Structure 1
């Protein structure tokens, strides 16, 4: 374990957090709010810890996958704790666990909230809630890699530990250049959505907050009805962009480099859009009697399907009132999630494809025991290590899911609430059904249950393994 490089990386996360908080301070200045002092205090705390840790560069910059996982997990814990300070000091969310829940939900782009009423909150606090989505969307360590050459040829281990999906690859030979490309695409798409929303007459503050939530596939709303009171134009633009942010960013790089054929032949993306289209049509047909016509049913279905499968969590209607078939489809989409290499959460479409192909291979071997079958994706043979990690991921995922449902059931809520609360947090979605539905929140849960759900949100965002490594004794041995 290279402790020095880990503390150096975590130190830079403290410093970056201080820089990030400058924007809500500017917001507080613009709107003449007193919460500026809460953010200033948080910045001072971050710099007091971060600057000494980064004062001297470590002589040994080599670190391996274990070091990368620990650095990423600790960085996200640091982000969550320091990001909660303004909520507590401003009095917006006085209790530390509630504040950490809200902050973790922001950075992990979950969008689950313990707040029953948000419109009375100061603008600077609302801005910070939404901005945490944008920070966490692509990943703070990916952002750090785009700025600093941290660890020579070994910093791919940081990207692997933070980036979602069964496998992570470089777009170009240098990892730092890959990080810059990813953030360039991320920033470009963010700016595009801002422009489209402004053209539709959406106020600038609202535009920024909605876009931050869309880009990070987060879902914190600045109105009590989420996006329900915004125009159809705003909802349609948001629908398009949240679905686009759920696409593997490698496809956008291929399009930018004019490799159109390669981009449109990515198997995961074809399945992703196929699932979305099929779900929209089924739900629109099933809910058409609840709207003024099929067109409105289709538009509302498209928004909710896009919001759920990309794990954004925005809502325009109370889908808790929809028929059982529609709600069942949405729950299934919670687990499927977006594409690997996107800002979305969930199990990921690519993993679902691999699991189905592995099952088909097993059936074929029953029929033809001596046959040699290889699993392929995008016309490439999938390495055994990728299949093994996918199977292990699903096994651990199910263990955490079942354990979490069991623990929060101590609060004695109904099974649908408990089940979808864990599904919404472990998959980084936000709303569930019943008490935690789109018009509800997570405030009713005990602090024990909230702590369990905080763990689930972090585990879901970090793809489970980096966070779990913190609890293994051998992880901390210095070799």
Structure 2
């Protein structure tokens, strides 16, 4: 293990985080609120520690698989720790556990909160909460598009196999070029979203906050009633589209820039993702029409928004969907597991994995009728390797195991099955709200410190694609030179 390059890289990431904190600090100074002291202390501490670590000597600048996985895991843990300081020092939360939970939720773009009344928070803290979504989303894009496909974690070779976007075979040095392309697209969508929301009547501050949450697929809000507080059809549609766009593989936008429309339209995962969205919207709209809403257009409006929010794992709400009929809630619960596309800021298991799993089920059914036939699982025109299929199957098994284990441990707090299971699904899948006691009008403040730490771990595991973190607990990982 090249510990030098690991420590050095982690130091640079902390310096970057300190620089990012300048923006909410500026907001705090602009509004002359008490949280400016918390930001000043945090920026100084984070920046100094980052500078010291970044000067750590390294044997070489080569980052192999082991170093890559270690950096990815500890980058999110350290960023979450230092990102929690503004919440804690400004007394926006009651304990450091709450601050850490809020920070992890932000940087993993989950959007689950322990703050019961966000409307009393100072503007600097409100800005930082949502900015962590945007900042975390930047890191997630490079993780999804460059690092994981190159490492082949959890069947992520499937993404590398089909996508023809700016994907690299090596972590360095071309990762910088990849990041530059991705961030240009990311920033462009952010600017467009902000402008559209301002046109809809939002202030610049709110427009930025909700764009950060939508593009980063996070879901932190400035209102206790989330997006529903605005009661605007225009804002609902704009944010719905922003969430859906952000749930798409960002490499496809690179192809659009190259005017490769045929490749984009032929992308298997995109077609599956849009198909699931369209089907879910129609099914829920038909179910809540007359049962909840008197107009079919109103039913479609709320259905579109909530389906977009849940499948992209953003977590915004325009209605208390926990009061919808059971049929609609079951669909939303299933969408929590599917998630957005690989190569996006969305969480969940990813649409491409679910698509491949369905194709594998179809193959097994076909084998019953044609036992001697050799049937391959294809994505587009390319047959997937056994290693890729095994990786996806293992990922699904591990995801479900962690979901069940999380549900079991969270239930120790005395909550009912729906609350415990949806809390586990919402944190592991990086969604945010769940059902019952963690529904869209509730928060996670009522859980014990044990459960909050557990759910913070689930958020990190889900965001880092499970195996990225799990691998660090293997003795083989530390012994062999990989």
Q: Which residue of 2 aligns with 1:242?
A: 243
TM superposition score normalised by structure 2: 0.93
SS at match of 2:398: helix
Note if contact 1:225-1:316 (Cα within 8 Å) is conserved in structure 2. Answer: yes
Partner of 2:171: none
Q: What secondary structure, in the 3-state scheme, does the structure 2 residue paired with 1:193 have?
A: helix
Cα distance in 1 for residues equivalent to 2:335 and 2:431: 10
Kept in 2, the 8 Å contact 1:72–1:161? The answer is no
CA distance in structure 2 between the partners assigned to 1:234 and 1:325 by the alignment:
27
**Residue 141 of structure 1 contacts residue 158 of structure 1 at CA under 8 Å; is this kept in 2?**
no
- What is the rounded CA distance, in whole Å, between the counterparts of 1:36 and 1:58 in structure 2? 36
What are the within-5 Å matches in structure 2 for residues 391-430 of structure 1? 391-430=393-432
Identify the match of residue 166 of structure 2 among 164, 167, 171.
171
CA distance in 2, matches of 1:52, 1:432: 41
Distance in 2 between the 1:292 and 1:32 partners? Answer: 46
Residues 62 and 141 of structure 1, relative CA distance in 2, 3 Å threshold = farther
Q: Is the 8 A contact 1:268 1:353 kept in 2?
A: yes
Mapped partners of 2:37, 2:113: distance in 1: 24
Deviation at 1:283, TM superposition (A): 0.9
SS in 2 for 1:470: helix
For each residue in 1:190-232, what CA deviation from the matched residue of structure 2 results, as whole angstroms up to 9, or x when unmatched?
A: 1110111111221000000000000110001110000112122
Alignment of 1:139-158 (within 5 A): 139=139, 142=142, 156=147
1:125-174: per-residue Cα shift (whole Å, max 9, x none)?
0000000000111316839x99xxxxxxxx84697589995645461663
Alignment of 1:164-313 (within 5 A): 165=156, 167-169=158-160, 171=166, 174-230=174-230, 231-289=232-290, 290-313=292-315
CA shift, 1:456, in A, is 0.5
State the distance in 2 between where 1:108 and 1:156 align: 17
Compute the displacement of 1:10 (Å). Answer: 0.6
Q: 1:101 maps to what in 2?
A: 101
| Contact 1:160 1:168 (8 Å CA) reproduced | no
| 1:364 matched to 2:359 | no
Q: Secondary structure at the match of 1:60?
A: coil
Deviation of 1:180 after TM superposition, in Å, equals 1.2
Match of 1:21 in 2: 21
Structure-1 separation of matches of 2:210 and 2:350: 24
CA contact (8 A) 2:240 2:308 kept: yes
User: Secondary structure at 1:227's aligned position in 2?
Assistant: helix
C-alpha distance 320-341 of structure 1, shift in aligned 2 (>3 A): same
In the aligned structure 2, how far is the partner of 1:326 from the partner of 1:364? 32
CA deviation digits over 1:271-306, x for unaligned, max 9?
Answer: 111111111111111111222411111001100000
Query: CA separation in 1, counterparts of 2:224 and 2:111?
Result: 13
Q: Which moved more, 1:235-244 or 1:283-292?
A: 283-292
Q: 2:43 aligns to what?
A: 43
CA gap of 1:225–1:157, structure 2 versus 1, over 3 A, is: closer
Contact in 1 for aligned 2:142/2:178 (Cα 8 Å): no
**Distance in 1, Cα, partners of 2:456 & 2:96:** 12
Structure 1 unaligned regions, length at least 5: 147-154
- Measure how far apart 1:63 and its partner are: 2.5
CA distance in 2, matches of 1:161, 1:53: 29
Structure 2, unpaired ranges of 5+: 169-173
CA contact (8 A) 2:140 2:345 kept: no
Cα displacement string for residues 408-457 of structure 1 (whole angstroms, at most 9, x for unaligned residues): 11111100000100010000000000000000111111111111111100
Distance apart, 1:402 and its partner CA: 1.2
Cα pair 1:361 1:375 within 8 Å, conserved = yes
User: 1-side partners of 2:440 and 2:453: how far apart?
Assistant: 21
> Hey, what does 1:152 align to over in structure 2?
none
Gap change, CA 1:168 and 1:56, over 3 Å in 2: farther
Displacement of 1:66 in angstroms is 2.1
Given that residues 167 and 386 in structure 1 are in contact (C-alpha distance below 8 angstroms), is that contact kept between their aligned partners in structure 2? yes
Instruction: Give the aligned length.
Output: 470
